Amino acid sequence: MSAGSDQQSVRCMVAKVGLDGHDRGAHVIARAFRDAGFEVIYSGLHKGPDEIVQAAVQEDVDVLGISILSGAHDTLVPKIMDGLEEYGAKEDTLVLVGGVIPEEDRQPLKDEGVSAIFGPGTSIEETIEFVRENTPER
Amino acid sequence: MKSNRELFESLLAGEHRALARVISKIENRSPGYRDLVSELYAHTGEADVIGITGSPGAGKSTLVDKLAETYREPGETVGVIAIDPSSPFTGGAVLGDRIRMASTVGDMDVFVRSMSARGTLGGLSTATADAVKAMDAFGKDKIIIETVGAGQNEIDIVRTADTVAVLVPPGSGDDIQTLKAGILEIADVFVVNKADRDGTDRTVQELRDMILLDSGDGYSSGGGNHHSQEVIDAHDDWEPGDNEDRATGWTTPIVETVATRSEGVEELLAEFESHREYLVDSDERAAQVRQRYAEEIRTLLREDVHAMLEAELEAAGGIDDLAESVRRGETDPYSIAGDLLEPVENCVGELRVDEE
């Protein structure tokens, strides 16, 4: 399906995972995605990896954006990736991670299948552009 | 990437991912989605479809969550379609109903899908009806459609359901008056949610009065309210002993709930069940289903003709040039519409002659 069809809309999920109550960033991203014309599903706070996976599979999202500021990315993100794989959704879902991710943790996350990591200071335009260019063809 | 055939097989085999993908195809109007849906039809008809509507903040999502939880106890599987408005300017939407559906999290047998309008005329109600078919064929026992009751579009959507519950928050006061048009006719059950709040008794009383009053209006105006004649008949039952022969009709019940504490949910489910029995016993279900399919056929035809005319417009140089010629005063919209449609009408006319 070409992205040019007028019925096609990019479906994104913005997810907060784990014990991390900081959702200002996730809200800003959700709004910006909406204004970019995407359909955004916001997970709400304090979701477990299995809940994120369930929602991502049922909603059949093209893009899963995980916001983590708690430092638990190295345990939570692999759990989500494994869950997606279980449902056969890992391959064609664009997974992004946003938040405070130390430099040395980035490559391991990418090895898990995360497509991009956006740290503090990333412009919203940059993120949206990345989504537009990299949303998997289905 | 799976072919439509594989997707169809996987959906029938109960793969959640396949169901999710089929609904996306329906939403996207992907190539081949029509064949897919028409094949699905053979496997449908088992599920009970319930529509939940009401003003924003009435507690729809919370109630849907509790309904799903209660259905799950005896092991029934549930599908939920939550519909949110999208921006008419960017097409973007934030679909937030999921946040409040926490009771059944981690249970894949509750399949929640958020949908939004994608700007086509009547398109959402078609997409919703098709998504219901997909969930039905998948094998869901109960399907709940949740939507904000704001206008005609939403009313069309909940009509996809067998039983429609309209949520009214307590203390609505004059709001009930504004609900009258349209909403009264589609309600099979009224739910006064947040019934622990002040004003509940009054709201229930007002609803009851409104139902009574409406039935009175219905008779004096000689059925001007035509498509709710059945409902009007049903309301006659408010007077016990009066018109015994009409006692087979459906009495729109009013149920009080506190969704956050699951209070009244069992009673509500009991009302859904008796409405379902009523539909079957009274043969109204057949009429309802017939009307629904008639509407679906019309919508599909409208969409097809619309697409055909869009192509015709392109061939005639695009809408922009035509609009510009009107702006310059060279012609008018009526002449353009007439000119564009003329060849189509001629074709159709010739076809009919050929057939004869």
Question: Hey, what CATH topology would domain A11-133 get?
Answer: Rossmann fold (3.40.50)
How much is the CA Rg of chain B, to the nearest whole Å? 23
Task: Specify the amino acid at residue B30.
Answer: S
Give the gap in angstroms from C-alpha A47 to the nearest C-alpha of chain B: 10
Extract the tokens encoding B285.
Answer: 């279900």
Stretch 45-104 of chain B: residues touching chain A, C-beta under 8 Å = 86-87, 90-96, 98-99
B77 contacts in A (CB within 8 Å)?
Answer: none
Taking alpha carbons only, the member of A80, B19, B109 closest to residue B10 is: B19
Taking an 8 Å cut-off on Cβ atoms, the answer to whether A44 and B99 are in contact is: yes
Q: Is B13:B27 a contact under the CB 8 Å cutoff?
A: no
Binned at pLDDT 50, 70 and 90, residue B321 comes out as confident
Given a cut of 50, whether residue A4 has pLDDT beyond it is no
For the stretch B144-191, pLDDT in tens is 999 876 566 667 777 789 999 988 888 766 666 655 556 667 889 999
Residue B262 contacts A, CB cutoff 8 Å? no
Min Cα distance A35 → chain B (Å) is 6
What's the CA gap between A77 and A71, in Å, rounded? 11
Note the pLDDT tens digit of each residue in B76-133. 999 999 987 776 666 677 777 777 777 777 788 899 998 887 655 556 778 888 999 9
Instruction: Give me the residue from B21, B30, B105 closest to A54, CB to CB.
Output: B105
- How close is the nearest chain A Cα to the Cα of B353, in Å? 37
Q: How far away is chain A from the Cα of B1, in angstroms, using its nearest Cα?
A: 7
Query: Domains of chain A: which residue ranges?
Result: 11-133
Of B17, B111, B120, Cβ closest to residue A89 = B17
CATH number for the domain formed by residue range(s) B42-283: 3.40.50.300
What are the pLDDT digits (tens) for B256-307? 999 889 899 999 999 999 999 999 888 888 888 888 888 888 888 888 888 8
Q: What residues in A contact B111, CB-CB < 8 Å?
A: 58
Enter the ipTM.
Answer: 0.85
Q: Where are the domains of chain B?
A: 42-283, 302-355
Tell me how far apart the alpha carbons of residues B287 and A19 are, in angstroms, rounded to a whole number. Answer: 52
Interface contacts (A, B; CB < 8 Å): 96
